[in-house]
């Protein structure tokens, strides 16, 4: 059944772990892009999801959703590379008006596909990192604390 009331004032534990891990990974992802200038590594999002998946599993949460959401938050720097690609492509458009319109539509479509692909890869990497982190948490044992308000 769809939610009809006001939004909750507090984030769920799954989102708290994901936001923390994803936001911590962003500076490392941006630094990897600035270092190379033309390629972006999402390994920081993967390792952040691995850590958040581990910690979430130790607290009694499911690690895969935490990892996937960490990857989604960690994908925000994809917008940075998208901006560079679109600015470069739009600067090269010239010619008659109809050609520029078709070119801008093509560049816009490319941007949407690029953003979806980049975010999808990051979510997949985060999901895998979360699963691995959860698996490590299960194998290393330790005390599980039940989550409150999941």
Asked whether residue 25 is assigned to any structural domain, the reply reads yes
Asked whether residue 116 is assigned to any structural domain, the reply reads yes
What are the pLDDT digits (tens) for 53-62?
999 999 999 9
Q: Which domain holds residue 25?
A: 13-140
Asked whether residue 7 is assigned to any structural domain, the reply reads no
Question: Per-residue pLDDT averaged across 82-94, rounded?
Answer: 75
Please tell me the total count of domains within the chain: 1
Q: How confident is the model at residue 114 (pLDDT cuts 50, 70, 90)?
A: confident
Give the side-chain half-sphere CA count within 13 A for 147: 18
- What is each CA distance from 105 to 43, 98, 101, 108, in whole angstroms? 32, 11, 6, 5
Asked whether residue 147 is assigned to any structural domain, the reply reads no
Q: How confident is the model at residue 148 (pLDDT cuts 50, 70, 90)?
A: low
Contact 130, 52 (CB under 8 A): yes
Q: What is the 3-state secondary structure (H, E, C) of 91-142?
A: HCCCCCHHHHHHHHHHHHHHHHHHHHHHHHHHHHHHHHHHHHHHHHHHHHCC
Asked whether residue 8 is assigned to any structural domain, the reply reads no
Asked whether residue 129 is assigned to any structural domain, the reply reads yes
Asked whether residue 119 is assigned to any structural domain, the reply reads yes
Task: Work out the burial of residue 52: count CB atoms within 10 Å of its CB; fewer than 13 is exposed, 13-18 middle, 19 or more buried.
Answer: buried
Asked whether residue 6 is assigned to any structural domain, the reply reads no
Between 131 and 149, name the one with better pLDDT.
Answer: 131
The pTM assigned to this predicted structure is 0.77
């Amino acid at each position: 059944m769809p939610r009809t009331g006001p939004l909750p004032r507090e984030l769920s534990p799954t989102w708290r772990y994901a936001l923390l891990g994803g936001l911590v990974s962003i500076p490392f992802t941006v630094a990897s892009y600035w270092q190379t200038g033309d390629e972006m590594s999402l390994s920081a999002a993967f390792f952040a999801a691995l850590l958040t998946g581990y910690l979430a599993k130790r607290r009694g949460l499911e690690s895969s959703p935490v990892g996937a959401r960490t990857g989604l938050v960690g994908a925000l720097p994809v917008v940075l590379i998208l901006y560079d690609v679109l600015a470069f492509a739009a600067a090269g458009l010239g010619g008659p008006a109809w050609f520029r319109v078709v070119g801008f539509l093509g560049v816009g479509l490319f941007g949407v596909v690029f953003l979806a692909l980049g975010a999808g890869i990051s979510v997949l990497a985060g999901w895998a990192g979360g699963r691995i982190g959860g698996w490590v948490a299960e194998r290393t044992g330790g005390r599980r604390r039940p989550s409150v308000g999941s």
